[in-house]
Chain A
Amino acid sequence: MKYINAALLFAGLVFQSSLTFAAGKVQVHDAWIPEAPPVAKVMAAYMTIENTGSKPITITGISCDAFGMVMMHKTVTENGMSRMIHLDNLTVAPKSKAVFKRGGMHVMLMDPKHSFKVGDKVSLTLVTADKIKIPFTAVVKPATLGND
């Protein structure tokens, strides 16, 4: 029994440390949300996800309590036609970045639970395939082109 407890403890420590390891290797930079018209039911968040580790990391979702639904999307424009592709997941290669910016990947934020003004800070959470949660904060900025 003593050995089993020790094994469980060891396994738990390994699991815990692997979580910490993975979480520490993913950083979110420059997260922001353009201010939107007051009637807008959909907003977008942009940011850079950096994987500083040596293994690929797969993002399987993003959550945000301030919105009814949150999805990773990508705007694709082909032959002048723009459409949005839902990204089920996104793998960030080792030592590389995934950039969410206008006209490309974005976090689609639907059904805001309250209105937002410039300067508000919004808490979001990345979820990886390993169920690791990585919290980050996006700032609401004026809707101008210069804020990218």
Chain B
Amino acid sequence: MSSDRPPQQSLPLPVIIIGLALMVAGVLAARYVLSPHLASSPPADLKATYLQDGKPITGFHLLDYNRQPFDASHFKGKWTFLFFGYTNCPDVCPTTLLVMKSVWAKLPAEAKTEPSPQLVFVSVDPDRDSPEKLKKYVTFYRPDFIGVTGKADQIDILTNQVGVLYGFDDDPDGKGYTVKHSAQIILVDPNGKMRAVFSPPHKVEDIVHSFVEIRNYYKG
């Protein structure tokens, strides 16, 4: 009994080899192209704590030094470096602002393209730091640095979300209190999520390097 089915023909060996080679090449190419998206861990040499999933920051309402509202919407489309302090701070705040001024000077051009970075100094001492005073203080370091402050409860909404602590020391003589405060620099991504924490002591080169790495990694 004869079959109607055409006789089966096996593929020539060279075709099979070429096909397999193309499949392997395709898989390798896909892995190469997609790897940044699939990478499960950030660059190993970061001098910062990276938050893989990010942490949304919401619900605070402050004023910038031009007395314009500053809220979470101002994080959108920018990389934001947040630092918390006060203008009567003799050592830590001026030094950190100088470090960030140097970071700005040393950032490679591609790290300043959109989404560009912004530095926001948050005064936790609104009783002494009016927006006007804050403006003169912050822009002394760089004209494009931003200063914000506001009511204590609004400042607390922000500090609580980013894990920053602060407190006022006793002032028994009435000569002026000092403020203890976290000295971390918080990096917020262009989608408004807390993305990394730089811990003191702050070094210019470490921040520049880590920011560039984080930007590239986040961008994929």
Contacts and interface: CB of A to CB of B under 8 A. Distances in A.
Given A39-B87, A40-B88, A143-B140, 20 more contacts: A37-B87, A38-B140, A39-B136, A41-B88, A42-B87, A42-B88, A42-B89, A42-B90, A44-B94, A69-B175, A73-B91, A77-B201, A81-B180, A81-B182, A81-B183, A82-B182, A84-B169, A103-B201, A108-B90, A111-B176
A73 B176 CA distance: 14
B184 interface: yes
Nearest to B165: A81
A145 interface: yes
Interface string A44-85: 100000000000000000000000110001010100111110
> Which secondary structure characterizes the binding site on chain A?
strand
10 contacts: A39-B136, A40-B87, A40-B137, A41-B88, A42-B89, A69-B175, A83-B181, A84-B169, A102-B91, A145-B95
Interface in B127-181: 128, 133, 136-138, 140-141, 165, 169, 175-176, 178, 180-181
Interface residues of A, number: 30
Range, interface on chain B: 20 to 34
Interface of B: 87-92, 94-95, 98-99, 102, 128, 133, 136-138, 140-141, 165, 169, 175-176, 178, 180-184, 199-201, 204
Interface in A91-133: 102-103, 106, 108-111
A34 B94 contact: yes
